[in-house]
Amino acid sequence: MPYRIFDHTADLGVEVSAASVEELYAAAAFALFDLLTDLSTVRAGISREIVVAGEDPADLLINFLREILYLWNGERFLIKSCSVREVTPQGIKALLRGEFFDTARHGIKAEIKAVTYHRASVCETKKGFVAKVVFDV
């Protein structure tokens, strides 16, 4: 599992780590949808490309996660996988694969209402990259 949950009052904190910044953002997307649903039930039949902008790495992470959370909240689209194609200091391009929610096959493990700026961070370490984010549940 490329993430761990940390304690946060009334919300859900997640720390992700990866060898590259591209893998870091993909791991954050995985964490969001792994907490939301049982990913083993989701098929990767539909592709969606997204482009997101941000002021700095933490802002970019928040905007990226908000965009993919919108796909769930607004369109009921579940993400099975995320391939980050490009990361610049102010932007990210990613290819998402998944499918629309089907009540016969999918269950919801946790309702994630929003992605917050509280404790949001993206840091480079000797081993790669680490990010923290808090979800409003």
pTM: 0.93
- What structural domains and CATH numbers belong to the chain? 3-136 (3.55.10.10)
Query: How far apart are alpha carbons 136 and 21 in whole angstroms?
Result: 24
As a whole number of angstroms, the distance between CA 44 and CA 47 comes to: 8
Q: What is the mean pLDDT of the chain?
A: 94
- Radius of gyration of the CA atoms of the chain, in A: 14
Q: Of 5-9, 35-39, 51-55, 96-100, where does mean pLDDT reach its minimum?
A: 5-9
